[in-house]
Amino acid sequence: MRFDNVFRLGIKELRGLVRDPMLLVLIVYSFTLAVYAGAKALPETLNRAAIAVVDEDHSPISTRIEMAFTPPYFSEPRLISQYEMDRRMDAGLDTFALDIPPDFQRDLLARKSPTIQLNVDATRISQAFNGGGYIEQIVSAEVAEFLAHTRNAQAVPIELALRARFNPELKKSWFGAIDHVITSITMLSIILTGAALIREREHGTIEHLLVMPVTPLEIMVSKVWSMGAVVLVASALSIAFVVKGWLQVTIDGSLALFLVGAALMLFATTSMGIFLATVAGSMPQFGLLLIMILLPLQTLSGSMTPRESMPQFVQDIMLAAPNTHFVMLAQAILFRGAGLEAVWPQLVALALIGGVFFVIALRRFRAFLA
Amino acid sequence: MSTTAAAEAPAADGSVVHLEGVGLSYGKARALESITLDLPAGCMVGLIGPDGVGKSSLLSLIAGARAIQDGRIHVLGGDMASSRHRRNVCPDIAYMPQGLGKNLYPTLSVFENIDFFGRLFGHDKLERDRRIAGLLRDTGLTPFADRPAAKLSGGMKQKVGLCCALIHDPELLILDEPTTGVDPLSRRQFWELIASIRASRPGMSVIVSTAYMEEAAQFDVLIAMNAGRVLATGTPAELRRQTGADTLDEAFIRLLPEADRGNHADVVIPPRSEDHEEIAIEADHLTRRFSGFVAVDDVSFRIRKGEIFGFLGSNGCGKTTTMKMLTGLLPVSEGTARLFGNTIDAGDMSVRRRIGYMSQGFSLYSELTVAQNLDLHARLFELPAETIGPRISEMVARFDLADVVDSLPDALPLGLRQRLSLAVAMIHAPDILILDEPTSGVDPVARDQFWQILAELSRKDNVTIFVSTHFMNEAERCDRVSLMHAGKVLTSDTPAAIVAARGTATLEQAFIACLEEAIAGTADAAIQPAPAPAVPTETASPPRKRGMRFNLTRMLAYSRREALELRRDPIRATLAILGSVLLLFVLGYGISMDVENLTFAVLDRDDSAISRDYSLQIAGSRYFTQKSPIIDYADLDRRMRAGEIGLAIELPPGFGRDVSRGRHVEIGAWVDGANPTRAETLRSYAQAIHATWLAQKGRELYGEAAIAGSYQLQLRYRYNPDVISVVAMAPGIIPLLLVMIPAVLAALAVVREKELGSIVNFYVTPVTRLEFLLGTQLPYVVLAFGNFLLLVGFALVVFRVPFTGSFPTYALAALLYVTATTGMGLVISAFMNSQIAALFGTVLVTLIPAIQYSGLIDPVSSLQGAGALIGRLYPTTYFVTISRGTFSKGLAFDTLHNDLLALAIMVPILVIAGAMLLKKQAR
């Protein structure tokens, strides 16, 4: 392999990229607006959750509870009759329906331990879980305060002082922003290298390269380094200016270490791009393949939902994907400020996966050229 | 032939086409400028001129495939600007666009292709079979009826194209460069076929464009074009007489304006001096097999140093494969290839330095300027750095590129780009040049200039030149030529010797004789046309139903074709069938909100019975998995940073003692906030467990007094009592998958036709927009519905999601829904011109509203503003309600009829919008 050739061919790839406005727009968009939108668009779990109250008591305490549900977490509670409740839930109009029984206040004061019923539409999984917890807290707080006016209850004075580390206010935008940078890195590295190869083949220039004293290895390495470098620089800029600057996300860890991980990740994904481009006959086929590959990579890598809630076999399979390790590494470094001593296993895994992908892609690329 | 007479009554004097002041622009580029012509009926009219002068644009305007911009066009007695006239007249016009098999469907067989056109013109099965049998017999294609169009040779593709064009007995046949890239024999057969058809249908008019002047010499009337204008019209003899030229080639060059002619001089190649007897290229029994067929079969030849060696033959006869073997691009299957006595090894770099290669589709980097192209090639060939500058200047001077060094190749005319390609191939001063059809599509003047350079290279620099071409006048300039056919070399000698040996007048005739001899000896004999073609369509042509608004046969013709094509495209078919199931699997597990197996560890500074009881309380929960105890703060910090533990609990010293005495105690707890959703869940679980533990302790410590004033909150998780994510997610994901994939496939189906060019069949046949769209949509609706059944089955069997409601209601809704979503794909396709844009555009347009605004994550009732509006208008919203209702809530038609109605209304709206946006002509 001659490094001079690899360098020149890589420069040629970069020049080609500069002359493709569509791809440039895609790169800029993915690392700026998409990251911003990704940070802002993530719905807070509870946003104007639709709640209805069946108030059969009409007492001061039931009114008090009704008044406690306010935007932005909940929509203004709608007062409905018990008859309406089932119909409205069936139609999907309400996520929660709180049924306060008759004589609730009287029974409460008489220590009869009355029961409030909370109906949750469990098909709305995102609101059902946390919303139920919130409602429970709100109701018990209101009841406690109401009772505080009447008399004191004995309680155990043990407090659970819960604090969230790394993201004290649990801002979803922090998570969304980083998640989108990771997504953009995967997507763009595959698209750019794949498109570079397909473009070359569609223009008939790949054949031309092969009559020159250039080896397939040199051609492939030139595409891997040039497109990898573009994505690496773009992601570094994106973290520095969009994530830190624009979105004001606190980043604890070392950006340099993250970029080392990203470089290894790019080694694997650019190889994947080459591989896919040799499998696909044309740009449209490449695009279809991309959908089938990219979505599983992203959804199952642990960037959207935690890995531990997936079935064991899915977790095992996904260990072969570079994204899984990269997501672990990125979250550890960027959120938790982890250092090399914590993330070295991921770096090793990425290097190994990258190496295997590269060799497979190179074989496939050679066969494809012959 | 007059260009001025009868402008008012175009059809009266026997003219078939009347053009008046026709102009056309593509963006800023002017393709045609005030063309005024009358084309006589019953004649063979030829349009001549090089590539890019507007011939194809003019023909597509006449055929009605392209919308008229300026001027008036009358064809067959009516105005082509009127859509009513176009609809009436299109069964009488047949149009074969440029490009080998451009309007054919490559994966369909010969029979299926012709059959498709028969269906479009409303022939019944008997009629189609009769006509197709006749056409196949006449064109000699009968033995190939089942072969996919993509696997035919160029000549055969064109014959199939002709069959498709002739199936409906047109009165006007428009052929755009039908013989470019076709071997001489097929070309002759093609014209014989046209002649016999014309003989049997004397009234038929034919308009042909061609780049071969030899062919044009046979036509009745010629129109010479250049730069969007007509240079001259007349019979071939008249044109020659006007210009005083012997051949039409010369006549054309003389017709060109002075500026375009440049410093044109006839190519003179001095005879070769015979002192070079060194063999430069030697092919010895060269054979190349690809899976299933032999591309090059036992080919042998020797080329001497400094010789110009020509290679002739049709597209796909093995010329390019042979050349690639000689350059080392392809390994040989058998035999040997030698350059200067050394066997070629595909991996040997030193061989590559001796060869300059110009492949068929120019190998220039369009993203680099002329100078950058030259520089890159010089460096890749490792020219010493100090010689690169001078060498580039030398090439620029020699190939006359000084004016364009900083331009991008795409901005240059074809002829100049070819010179640049040659300069690039010559940059490292190779001994051998291998040029694969370097002059295809180049105008005669530029071709001559190109050959002048080749002559110099050969005679002055002693460069060996191995060149393939379709042009006979170029073949005549070679020192020796070889004719290839079906992988074999038929003959190889000097042009003069070949002509003499065959006893024919021209080289072309000699080659045709060779080809006929070769074909007679093989099973391919059937390729020859039957001696007296019985034209299949002279009898009993059924009365045409004209101007019909909607015809089911035509619609189904498109459905059938689309279904066949889909079946034969593995990647699309896989996505269509398996893609959705794969994605259901992925999303079903991936978007799972069940948070389980959360890791926690305890820093127990007390280590009393009570503190251990507290840890056990958490460990006993099904949501938590306990990790080894935390030793100190440093350990806590390290393990949280590494992501090993999600929740850390610190129990202070004296915890047990303080609890027992009822003193105030604070337990420290840290949650990993990296993933906020998970952190929230962690937090609420931790609080709930803490509260339960407190209540327990309270009862132990204070007895019943602790319960005072308490109440119960009874949580009822409805529809999904166990709160399993996948039970909730699957009914939501199914609508998502049934919008994205069907819309993508439907959009691609239309845009593919636009990109590959077969959309022209829609422009020039009687198919209406609605027939085209519904026909294309139908297979995808069927497919998407099948997909729906597959997804439901997968959800029931693999994810074990219980189904509680009315399945017929669900299925009906699904049918309406996929009709709407494929309709959305068709609407989107109106705005897209490339498949890749259609693909990503459709994904964006469908995915975001479906995920964000359709109640999948947040109920539509919690949305605000634009999101809420989109949510109410988007079909997914209604189908999500129906899907969840029937799956989980046990609902049926009576509760869901409003949502069904909403879907039912969207279907016709989308289909009509798609039809309105679709253009029946190119613009």
CB within 8 Å of A22: residues ≥ 6 apart: none
CA B22 from chain centre, in angstroms, equals 31
Record: contact B642-A338, CB cut-off 8 A: yes
ipTM of the complex: 0.78
pLDDT in tens, B324-347: 888 877 788 888 888 887 887 766
A319 and A232 in contact (C-beta within 8 Å)? Answer: no
Q: Which residue has the tokens 């000084």?
A: B402
Task: Show the tokens assigned to B815.
Answer: 């049918």
Asked if the model's pLDDT at residue B260 lies above 80, the reply is no
pLDDT in tens, B686-724: 887 887 787 777 777 766 555 555 677 777 777 666 666
Record: contact B717-A128, CB cut-off 8 A: yes
How high is the pLDDT of residue B275?
A: 63
Question: What is the DSSP secondary-structure string of B169-226?
Answer: --SEEEEESTTTT--HHHHHHHHHHHHHHHHH-TT-EEEEEES-HHHHTTSSEEEEEE
Interface of A with B in 227-256 (CB under 8 A): none
Mean pLDDT of A340-355: 91
pLDDT in tens, B365-391: 878 888 888 898 888 888 888 888 898
Q: Which residues of A touch B572 (CB under 8 A)?
A: 285, 288
How high is the pLDDT of residue A159?
A: 74
Lowest mean pLDDT among A265-269, B698-702, B761-765: B698-702
Half-sphere exposure of A363 (CA within 13 A, CB side): 5
* Closest CA–CA distance from residue A267 to any residue of chain B (Å): 24
Lowest mean pLDDT among B98-102, B246-250, B715-719: B715-719
Asked if the model's pLDDT at residue A323 lies above 50, the reply is yes
Task: For CA atoms A308, A312, A315, A319, give the dihedral sign.
Answer: positive
Record: contact B593-A119, CB cut-off 8 A: no
CB contact, 8 Å: A138 with chain B?
no
Give the CA dihedral A72, A76, A77, A81, nearest 10 degrees. -150
Q: Which residues of A touch B362 (CB under 8 A)?
A: 204
Mean pLDDT of B211-218: 82
Q: Which residue of A has its CA nearest to B660?
A: A156
**SS3 of chain A:** CCHHHHHHHHHHHHHHHHCCHHHHHHHHHHHCHHHHHHHHHCCCCCCCECEEEEECCCCHHHHHHHHHCCCCCECCCEECCHHHHHHHHHCCCCCEEEEECCCHHHHHHCCCCCEEEEEEECCCHHHHHHHHHHHHHHHHHHHHHHHHHHCCCCCCCEEEEEEEECCCCCCHHHHHHHHHHHHHHHHHHHHHHHHHHHHHHHCCHHHHHHCCCCCHHHHHHHHHHHHHHHHHHHHHHHHHHHHHHHCCCCCCCCHHHHHHHHHHHHHHHHHHHHHHHHHCCCHHHHHHHHHHHHHHHHHCCCCCCCHHHCCHHHHHHHCCCHHHHHHHHHHHHHHCCCCHHHHHHHHHHHHHHHHHHHHHHHHHHHHHHC
Q: Does residue A72 have a cis bond before it (omega within 30 degrees)? A: yes
CB contact, 8 Å: A4 with chain B?
yes
CB contact, 8 Å: A21 with chain B?
no
How high is the pLDDT of residue B606?
A: 87
Mean pLDDT of B473-496: 86
> DSSP E strands: which ranges in B701-820?
712-718
Q: Which residue of A has its CA nearest to B330?
A: A370
How high is the pLDDT of residue B265?
A: 67
Per the model's pLDDT, the better-predicted residue between B817 and A288 turns out to be: B817
Task: Show the tokens assigned to B782.
Answer: 């069927």
For residue B384, the surrounding DSSP H or E stretch is: none
How high is the pLDDT of residue B538?
A: 43
Record: contact B667-A309, CB cut-off 8 A: no
Task: Show the tokens assigned to B632.
Answer: 């100190």
In a 10 Å sphere around its CB, with 0-12 CB exposed, 13-18 middle and 19+ buried, how is residue B277 labelled? exposed
Q: What is the average pLDDT score of chain A?
A: 84
Calpha distance B104→B120 (Å, rounded): 14
CB contact, 8 Å: B289 with chain A?
no
How high is the pLDDT of residue B690?
A: 84
Contacts across the A-B interface (CB distance below 8 Å): 376
Q: Which residues of B touch A23 (CB under 8 A)?
A: none
pLDDT in tens, B391-444: 888 888 888 888 888 888 877 777 788 888 888 888 888 888 888 888 876 777
Record: contact A120-B717, CB cut-off 8 A: yes
Interface of B with A in 340-369 (CB under 8 A): 346-347, 349-350, 352-353, 355, 357, 359-368
Task: Show the tokens assigned to B599.
Answer: 């890791």
How high is the pLDDT of residue B449?
A: 82
B36 and B189 in contact (C-beta within 8 Å)? Answer: no
CB contact, 8 Å: B381 with chain A?
yes
Q: Which residues of A touch B367 (CB under 8 A)?
A: 12, 15-16, 18-20
Cross-sheet strand order for the sheet of B15-26? B29-40, B15-26, B70-75, B78-79
Distances (CA, A) of B824 to A207, B747, B908: 40, 8, 11
How high is the pLDDT of residue B862?
A: 67
A99 and A117 in contact (C-beta within 8 Å)? Answer: yes
Calpha distance B761→B65 (Å, rounded): 9
Categorize the per-residue pLDDT at A260 as very low, low, confident or very high, splitting at 50, 70 and 90. very high
Record: contact A287-B840, CB cut-off 8 A: yes
Asked if the model's pLDDT at residue B182 lies above 80, the reply is no
Interface of A with B in 31-70 (CB under 8 A): 41, 43, 45, 47-50
Calpha distance B672→B647 (Å, rounded): 6
How high is the pLDDT of residue B186?
A: 79
First vs last Cα of chain A: how many Å apart? 19
Q: What is the average pLDDT score of chain B?
A: 82
Q: Which residues of A touch B708 (CB under 8 A)?
A: 111, 153-154
CB contact, 8 Å: A175 with chain B?
yes
Calpha distance B608→A108 (Å, rounded): 37
pTM beyond 0.80: the answer is no
Task: Show the tokens assigned to B416.
Answer: 């100049």
Q: Which residue of B has its CA nearest to A3?
A: B380
* Closest CA–CA distance from residue A315 to any residue of chain B (Å): 10
